[in-house]
Amino acid sequence: MSTPDRRGMLDRADMALSIRRQCMLLGIARSGVYRPPRPANDNDLALKRRIDELFTA
């Protein structure tokens, strides 16, 4: 299971398990839970699009 999928399983409203315990059980870093994801810049998107085109060709 990918890290974003495991991060999606995190339940912030769960009072029985703390965020720390859930992160440990899911095998994800707490810093990734609290830190907002960085937006992708245009150069990265163009590069990813080009790699995808070459891969599918």
DSSP label at residue 12: T
- Token pair, residue 2, equals 């990918």
pLDDT in tens, 8-39: 999 989 889 999 999 999 999 998 888 887 88
How far apart CA 31 and CA 28 sit, in angstroms, is: 9
Predicted structure pTM score? 0.59
Q: What is the percentage of the chain residues whose pLDDT exceeds 90?
A: 49
Q: What is each CA distance from 46 to 20, 31, 38, in whole angstroms?
A: 37, 28, 17
Nearest CA-CA partner of 4 in 25, 24, 26: 26
Looking at the structure of the chain, the number of domains it has is 1
Q: For residue 52, is it within any domain?
A: no
Q: What is the pLDDT of residue 38?
A: 80
Q: For residue 8, is it within any domain?
A: yes
- Write out the residue range of the structural domain in which residue 9 sits: 1-36
